[in-house]
Amino acid sequence: MAIASNKTLCFICKKEKITYPCRGCSKEFCLIHLTEHQQNLNEELNHIINDYDQFKQTINEQKQNPQDHLLIEQINQWERNSIEKIQQKAQQCRNIVIESSQTFIKETEMKFEDLSEQIKHIHGENEFNEIDLNYLTNQLIKITKELNDLSDISIKEGSQSFINEISIIFMKKPKFNKWKQNAITVVGGNEGGEGLNQLNWPKGIFIDKNKNIFIADHDNHRIVEWKYNAKEGQIIAGGNGQGNQMDQLSWPTDVIVDEQNHSIIIADNGNRRVIQWLNQTQQILIKNIHCFGLVMDKYGYVYVSDHKKNEVRRWKIGEYNNEGTVVAGGNGKGNRLNQLNYPTFIFVGEDQSVYVTDQDNHRVLKWRKDAKEGRIVAGGNGKGENLNQLSYPQGVIVDDLGQIYVGDLGNDRVMRWCEEKEEGEIVVGGNGRENQSNQFSRPSDLSFDNEGNLYVVDESNHRIQKFEII
């Protein structure tokens, strides 16, 4: 908290005095009420500390009494009603429950201890605000929910005629996330332009583990990075006018960050090349490719969509001198299940399944690894605005439950599709083409951060919108 230079109204007493701003709530207080405000914050911190102590007691109780688990009693009852030869199976099942519960509790306890250290540090330094308190509260709620989710384990009985054998199964409980419908503009939003606080028809984005945002600033022929909570970006590639020199870009459409070597890989669409920037040194990785979308999987493969050849190819990092491997499309332009029509953004799942936005077919296809054709997982019912349709879809991402999110550019909305469903649902947007916080004008690429907040490239509003998870 810094001393203000002019007299302003105190938020509490409404009198004109020398005031001091609180960085947490952004309100101004006179000296007397600043002290009172700090005391209130101290009381809130003490409440949080008490909640943390109660949570620690809960963890200790579960550690000390693992046999109290409800499933253990069910196993014991089954054992008593069965004959001697199933006792070994019963003990095996007990061990699975105890081991999985204790492992999870240990992991949760480690998270809790880390947060406890943060509380001690904040309390000791005596420098904190509402932002810090909200963070601590949200983290406690999160790990409490994780601990309670231990109940997502059940018993599966067999159907043998002699005995009913049991085993332990873990159910993945579906959870349908929701987001606030009014977004926060985190990048741009200052009309189209080339200033460091502006974008000009952005396309693809990448968000790293620190919530820094990398943007393919398409019409400015550059890649910009906006640090978390920054008011303007910094140019990290291109920005030297449109061209094909090594320090220039032409209509870049997508960007990914290889966090292993801190390099960036760019779909330099206008120059028909994929280029890598590492410590201000440029290298062409792939030539003569009408690249649009980029993605990297956990095994170190880079996937590139080619909107002219209507295919997606895959390369191993460091092996770009070959032609790569076709993993989707590659059978000419068309609307059959083994064809694509102007593929744009792509997503790769844990099993290396490739999700492709098939823009001009108004659909998203999923190609399993080594498959000869894809399967429609969103759209595919012609161009339109019904819930079973898409209109020139762009960005695609898939969450941990396999739910597919699509930037529905022509309908100015983001849709969520479950693979087995006949239609999708509107997640955000769908309120007309304008620039209000609940509206889009040509939404394209999508991304999640590590907290589940949803980011949308609002293309012709020249901004990136962040929708906070509820």
Q: Specify whether 188 is located in the same domain as 164.
A: no
Residue 307 belongs to some domain of the structure: yes
Residue 66 belongs to some domain of the structure: no
pLDDT at 1: 42
Q: Specify whether 99 is located in the same domain as 16.
A: no
Q: What tens digit of pLDDT does each residue of 188-210 get?
A: 999 999 999 999 999 999 999 99
DSSP H helices, 378-422, are: none
Q: What tens digit of pLDDT does each residue of 237-289 get?
A: 999 999 999 999 999 999 999 888 889 999 999 999 999 998 878 999 999 99
Residue 82 belongs to some domain of the structure: no
pLDDT at 104: 76
What amino acid is encoded at 211 in this protein?
K
Q: Specify whether 161 is located in the same domain as 195.
A: no
The tokens for 217 are: 């600033």
pLDDT at 226: 96
Among 138, 132, 106, smallest CA distance to 119 is for 132
Residue 294 belongs to some domain of the structure: yes
- Domain CATH code at residue 252: 2.120.10.30
Flag the least confident range among 26-40, 56-70, 77-91, 329-343.
77-91
**pLDDT score of 436 more than 90:** yes
Domain boundary among 144, 170, 196: 170
Half-sphere exposure of 79 (CA within 13 A, CB side): 15
Q: Specify whether 288 is located in the same domain as 331.
A: yes
Classify strands 343-348 and 325-329 as parallel, antiparallel or unpaired: unpaired
Q: Specify whether 358 is located in the same domain as 306.
A: yes
Q: Please tell me which of 30-34, 315-319, 426-430 the model is most confident about, judged by mean pLDDT.
A: 426-430
| Rg of the chain taking only CA atoms, in angstroms | 27
Q: Specify whether 329 is located in the same domain as 208.
A: yes
Rounded Cα–Cα distance for residues 97 and 92 (Å): 9
Residue labelled with tokens 């308190």: 133
Q: Specify whether 232 is located in the same domain as 261.
A: yes
Q: Specify whether 97 is located in the same domain as 223.
A: no
Q: Specify whether 325 is located in the same domain as 383.
A: yes
Domain boundary among 170, 194, 225: 170
Distances (CA, A) of 336 to 266, 354, 374, 384: 30, 17, 9, 19
Q: Are 165 and 406 in contact (CB under 8 A)?
A: no
The full length of the chain comes to 470
**pLDDT score of 39 more than 70:** yes
Domain count, the chain: 3
Q: What is the mean pLDDT of residues 417-421?
A: 84
Q: Specify whether 43 is located in the same domain as 163.
A: no
**pLDDT score of 2 more than 50:** no
Q: Please tell me which of 11-15, 21-25, 70-74 the model is most confident about, judged by mean pLDDT.
A: 11-15
Q: Specify whether 163 is located in the same domain as 203.
A: no
Higher pLDDT, 6 or 96: 96
Q: Is the pTM of this model over 0.85?
A: no
Residue 75 belongs to some domain of the structure: no
Secondary structure of residue 39 in the 3-state scheme = helix
Q: Are 458 and 440 in contact (CB under 8 A)?
A: yes
Secondary structure of residue 138 in the 3-state scheme = helix
Secondary structure of residue 388 in the 3-state scheme = coil
Sign of CA dihedral 177, 180, 182, 185: negative
Rounded Cα–Cα distance for residues 115 and 419 (Å): 37
Domain that holds residue 234: 184-467
Domain boundary among 57, 77, 95: 57
Residue 447 belongs to some domain of the structure: yes
Higher pLDDT, 360 or 99: 360
Residue 177 belongs to some domain of the structure: no
pLDDT at 439: 96
Among 175, 157, 174, smallest CA distance to 166 is for 157
Per-residue pLDDT band for 3 (boundaries 50, 70, 90) equals: very low
Q: Please tell me which of 35-39, 96-100, 105-109, 211-215 the model is most confident about, judged by mean pLDDT.
A: 211-215
Rounded Cα–Cα distance for residues 83 and 147 (Å): 35
pLDDT at 319: 85
pLDDT at 85: 62
Per-residue pLDDT band for 11 (boundaries 50, 70, 90) equals: confident
Q: Are 21 and 77 in contact (CB under 8 A)?
A: no
pLDDT at 28: 87
Per-residue pLDDT band for 114 (boundaries 50, 70, 90) equals: confident
Q: What tens digit of pLDDT does each residue of 127-162 get?
A: 778 877 887 788 888 778 777 765 566 777 765 545
Average pLDDT value for the chain: 88
Cβ within 8 Å of residue 236, ≥6 positions away: 214, 223, 224, 225, 264, 277
Residue 77 belongs to some domain of the structure: no
Secondary element (H or E) of residue 394: strand 393-398
Q: Specify whether 269 is located in the same domain as 372.
A: yes
